[in-house]
Structure 1
């Protein structure tokens, strides 16, 4: 029998199961976040079935009639985005960070131009490398090389600058999904400028920290453009943004965007605007607490005997921790074992299957502080080191999480 929904009640029942399940999980997935219910409600409007297609740098010419107020909603949201990210121009049409990155790359390169990016092995987002490897058309167009990395998943800046000077790439993509520390953007931007390369930054994971003013803003450090998500450390609805202080770059982006995204899901714009207002009010406190929680969790995991990366450098200055779990069977097996006990992390998908990524954004929104990180580390110890009965851990975790049903750093009506 085909497994399909047969009624609205069935949909409601399954959604209720999902909500209950996720409420009782310790969500440490660095690419997810808790969205304020007040903000979620803004996704439910007449906009959900409307088109906002446009031409022009910021939507001057609309392709559909009926955009009288849609245009105003979009313009005011654009202005909020530009204000919080300190950018002169932005494009809100990408429906995710990945599409935002692809649009930027297509806008700024020609076939066979050398592109240097953080590859999957180093927790890169896999923007260009996987496309060139798996899609023959892209393999004929893209010429991509890996940015050199050293231990603790950090860029080997000295070696990279030398490679920039020697290879003269057309485009450099900094940023990763495993970024523990700020990168040497200013130094790399200077080297890129000397060879005439564009430097763009994938800030998908750190966009919330940037908006909160607790992590360096690549645009202020010399990046030509930034693309990012709005649903990782930034607690907004899923979507993507392209930012730049260069009108020329944004005009190029504007030319390619309609071929990638026409209907750009404008129902998310009011929710995005509300999330920015929330970040304006709470972003700094929220961001600082995320970093405190990350550092405390890393220290407590280290005390339990886990191999946490970058101990010598203080473990992390971002919303995430990386931990080598080779001794437990690799990242894939480890993440699935933790999942069975209600602990959600990310395995090293596409990489060497060595490290898991542990994020603190959602648990920070839930109300956990530095003092609670020892208990979080204890759950890891019980599952991975002590090999305790799964049901015992699940029950204790569920009881523990009931203490943290707060919606911290959330704007109210």
Structure 2
């Protein structure tokens, strides 16, 4: 039990020292700059900024004069970087942002098609339906994927014609390739369903110009988080070029899902957007270069890297099937050697997700991916000592304690 703030300081220091010696390949994490982090401790963390969706200047609390200006300026930045006319920054996480879109656009009994957990979906509508009230009002089906974990666009076209959904949600937590938003737009217009894009994992790639902008490709609305491939503070957002849709989302968000929306993350988000405007293209390019280089190196050493027929990946992550190599939870095993990855969230396949955002910010380049692949080989194929590999990983990781692509 903490007895003083010194105890808290010591524990945080232990965490920081430990993490500096880890190879963080968790695709949903990133490393914010000191400038971005500094804003999280500002006075806004203790304030309320609740407002009317139709009129953000109509704040429920007094004392919001400059809070309003900060929020509106941050909105302008996020609209610019995602090429949107309208934005809502009140979701305090990507999942909340997604829930607000689903609940705003669906009527009871409507059908939504999304990516299933077994295909590394984000687990949005499916898990929502574990709550009885949602299960009784929302129907959900899942789009099909090819063996290279790419959306099967022809199968999806047949599916929407047969099922007549109200909403189709692209995007997930294992996105290797860009989704066929443009290909589905004509059917959305013909049949009358909305296209939403869950950009939580690829916001950094979209903002950097490495991924096509879903709104420009034909998505009606996009939501996501700001702390995965996008190197900002934890939080969520919704953007659209459709005023009616963004108002529906805003009225769903507040006050039912959020009232105080953690205002201290807004100046931190603004700073991270400014960093992306300055360094985003080079950052996004390096992320993809690292992902491809690591995938090729792992394949060379005998690992089953998913998506080989398509060049493995075009994003910030790669997927590795370890079914023939390890019969225990891979992520927990790798963690013992200071290598941090994510297990398959569906629990149905022995796959791991490997991400490159944080190591890219830390200064890793393509040549370093060979070294990382060798660590995997030593641990999982050669069966070297966990302690020995872990020490080598720690020593190597401590060479990369700086931060690139930032102020």
Q: Which category of TM-score, normalised to the shorter sequence, fits these structures? A: over 0.9
The equivalent residue for 2:349 is 353
User: Which residue is 1:231 aligned to?
Assistant: 227
1:196-211 residue pairs with structure 2 within 5 A? 196-211=192-207
Aligned partner of 2:299 among 302, 325, 329? 302
For residues 256-297 of structure 1, give each alpha carbon's deviation from its aligned partner in whole angstroms, at most 9, with x where no partner exists: 111101000000000000000000000000000000000000
Aligned match of 1:311: 308
Alignment partner of 1:154: what SS? coil
**Alpha-carbon shift at residue 34 of structure 1 (Å):** 0.8
RMSD between superposed Cα atoms in Å: 1.0
SS in 2 for 1:35: coil
What is the alpha-carbon distance in structure 2 between the residues aligned to residue 301 and residue 150 of structure 1? Answer: 21
Deviations 1:32-73 (A, max 9, x none): 001101110011111110000000336121000000000000
Distance 2:360 2:318 in 1: 14
- Aligned position for 1:112: 109
- Report if aligned partners of 2:326, 2:380 keep a CA contact under 8 Å in 1: no
* 1:74 and 2:85 matched: no
Q: How big is each residue's C-alpha offset from its partner over 1:94-134, in whole Å with a ceiling of 9 and x where there is no partner?
A: 000000000011110111101111011110011011121x2
CA contact (8 A) 1:103 1:253 kept: yes
2:120 is matched with 123
Match status 1:178 vs 2:174: yes
Determine the structure 2 residue equivalent to 1:405. 401
CA contact (8 A) 2:50 2:60 kept: yes
- Structure-2 residue corresponding to 1:99: 96
- The residue aligned with 2:369 is 373
Matched, 1:40 2:37: yes
Task: State the SS of the aligned residue for 1:51.
Answer: coil
Q: 1:138: how far off? A: 1.3
> How many residues in Structure 1 have an aligned counterpart in Structure 2?
406
What's the counterpart of residue 322 of structure 1?
319
Q: Deviations over 1:331-370 (max 9, x none)?
A: x611111100000000001241321000001000010101
Aligned to 1:57: 54
Secondary structure, counterpart of 2:342 in structure 1: coil
Residue 19 (structure 1) aligned with residue 16 (structure 2): yes
How far 1:245 sits from its partner (Å)?
Answer: 0.3
Corresponding position of 2:248: 252
Give the equivalent residue in structure 2 for 1:83. Answer: 80
Tell me how far apart the structure 2 counterparts of residues 57 and 313 of structure 1 sit (CA, whole Å). 45
In the aligned structure 1, how far is the partner of 2:198 from the partner of 2:219? 10
Deviations 1:219-277 (A, max 9, x none): 00000000010000000000001010000101111211111010000000000000000
1:286 aligns with 2:283: yes
Conserved? CA contact 1:27–1:344, under 8 Å = yes
Q: CA deviation at 1:142?
A: 0.9
Which residue does 2:381 correspond to in 1? Answer: 385
Equivalent of residue 339 in structure 1, options 329, 335, 345: 335
Where do residues 141-220 of structure 1 align in structure 2 (5 Å cutoff)?
Answer: 141-220=137-216
TM-score (norm 2): 0.98
Structure 1 segments of 4 or more deviating over 6 A?
none
Indicate conservation of the 8 Å contact 1:123/1:351, yes or no.
no
SS at match of 1:55: coil
The structure that is helix-richer by fraction is 1
C-alpha separation between the residues in 1 aligned to 2:380 and 2:105? 46
For 2:347 and 2:111, how far apart are their aligned partners in 1?
22
Listed as ranges, the gaps of 5+ residues in structure 2 are none
1: CA distance, partners of 2:161 / 2:17: 54
- Inter-partner Cα distance in structure 1 for 2:11 and 2:179: 43
